[in-house]
Amino acid sequence: MPHFYLHFRTPLGIHRDDEGSTFADLDAAYLSVCETIPDIAADLWRSSLRKPGADPFACAFEITDAAGRILMDVPFLEILDPARTRFRAKLRPDLC
């Protein structure tokens, strides 16, 4: 099974996933990220009053392969406001 890294990007920088996770395929990694985004967004909203740069609408996940190539970029807006940002995740077919 493939190993993917789910890097968390904010306006203040990127938080690298150094351990990674094993998923059946890129679709499964994408679905896992989509399930995680609402909880992280809620935490960011709660902390945004105390911490600048914690705007969940400006965050995204980068899904990379073991070689560090970005396979997909998943903006939080895609999940938090799907009508406004339909199909914003970008698949990198040249790397898949």
Q: According to the model, what pLDDT value does residue 78 have?
A: 85
Q: Check residues 18 and 49 and name the one with the higher pLDDT.
A: 18
pLDDT tens digits, residue range 25-68? 999 999 999 999 999 988 888 776 556 666 788 899 999 999 99
- Please indicate whether residue 96 or residue 84 has the higher confidence score (pLDDT): 84
pLDDT confidence band for 91 (50 / 70 / 90):
low
Measured distance CA(91)–CA(74) in Å, rounded:
9
Query: Residue 3's beta-bridge partner residues?
Result: 22
Cα distances from 15 to residues 12, 19, 93, 96, in angstroms, run: 10, 12, 24, 23
Mean pLDDT for all residues in the chain: 84
Encoded tokens for 64: 């990379």
